[in-house]
A and B are shown apart, each in its own frame.
Chain A
Amino acid sequence: MDNGKSSNDLTAHRIAVSYIDKSRDFYSAQGYGKPYRWASNLETPFTPLKKPLNECRVGLVTTATIPKPGVSLEYDPGLLKTTALFSAPSDPTPDALYTMDRSWDKEATHTLDLGSFFPLDHLKYFAEQEIIGSVSPRFYGVPTDYSQSRTSKKYAPEIYRQMQEDKVDIALLVPL
């Protein structure tokens, strides 16, 4: 670790970034007085896997969206946008997904390689290798919404409904 901080400097602090702290300070500096209240739960549901992995159908959930005609993949609207929930066929794998209206580190990296945030082709590879049973015929797109109530009461039940239709056994959720 010779780039940035030395490992001694780094390990004097918690290494993993706290996005709750960072975003609170960042938006406060922009004049937003009331900090966002993040979801916080102690009790956490748990469902064990019901069959062997090589019989399971895996469904992929992303926070990215389908590119719109006429909007460049690199167009940054500068604001987070709440988009609609969607699903789309897993086959063929889309050429690209749009991510610029989501919050991620646009200075440190990029999202031009789908495999770095949307592992649909890798899931197909593991289906071919018979590590998993199959990939769901659709993938699912969930909006990034400030409203936790909308996320829990509107989007989540709809994704559940679609996954039931598609007979999904494992949901792999990959936020950007």
Chain B
Amino acid sequence: MGLIARHLESTGIPTVIAGSARDIIEQCGVPRFLFTDFPLGNPMGVPFDSGMQKTITRMALDLAVNTSFSRTTVQTPFEWHDNEWRKKFMYVGDENRELLARAGRLRKLQQEKNRQ
């Protein structure tokens, strides 16, 4: 998405990215980024919390208006209800290393099969 935003911006359409993968988007380099520090999947707010989602949407629109400099990141003021996901997502540790290696072998087999 960062690359799409860069292209649109360079051809004259102002862009706002609303997302949760801060490092990926900032490293790509985009003009306006609205960051919500949630697990990947709900960058516009908690499911079924329409009030929060509207606030985040409004912040994204305001960012289009109020940004004077490229690479502007604004963070929304919301917290996920716990922090477990930070550790659990794509977790690698001694207890699952063998399982991941096996999953990788299966994944490669499936990818080869898909190519055939």
Residues from chain A with Cβ under 8 Å of B27 in the complex: 20, 38-40
Known contacts A40-B28, A46-B31, A111 near B41 by CB under 8 Å: yes
A residues near B, CB below 8 A? 1, 3-5, 10, 15-23, 25-27, 29-32, 38-50, 53, 56, 58, 61, 63, 78-79, 99, 103-113, 115-119, 122-123, 125-126, 131-132, 142, 148, 151-152, 155-157, 159-160, 163, 168-176
**Can you list 5 A-B pairs, Cβ within 8 angstroms, ordered by A?**
A30-B104, A49-B65, A107-B89, A115-B45, A159-B4
CA distance A38 to B25 in the complex (A): 10
Chain A interface main SS type = loop
Which of A119, A163, A173 has the most C-beta atoms of chain B within 10 angstroms of its own C-beta? A173
| Chain B window 20-62, contacts with chain A (Cβ cutoff 8 Å), 1 for yes, 0 for no | 0111110111110001011111111111111001101110111
Known A109-B47, A116-B43; further 5 A-B contacts with Cβ < 8 A: A4-B82, A26-B100, A44-B70, A53-B62, A116-B42
Q: Which residue of B lies closest to A112 (CB)?
A: B47
CB distance from A61 to the nearest CB of B (A): 7
Interface size for chain B: under 10, 10 to 19, 20 to 34, or 35 or more residues?
35 or more
Closest A residue to B42 using CB positions: A116
Report which B residues bind A (CB closer than 8 A).
Answer: 1-19, 21-25, 27-31, 35, 37-50, 53-54, 56-58, 60-62, 64-65, 68-71, 79-90, 92, 97, 100-101, 103-105, 107-108, 110-111, 114
Residues of chain A contacted by B23 (CB below 8 angstroms) = 16-21
A78 to B114, CA, bound (A): 12
Q: Within 8 Å CB of B46, what residues of A?
A: 116
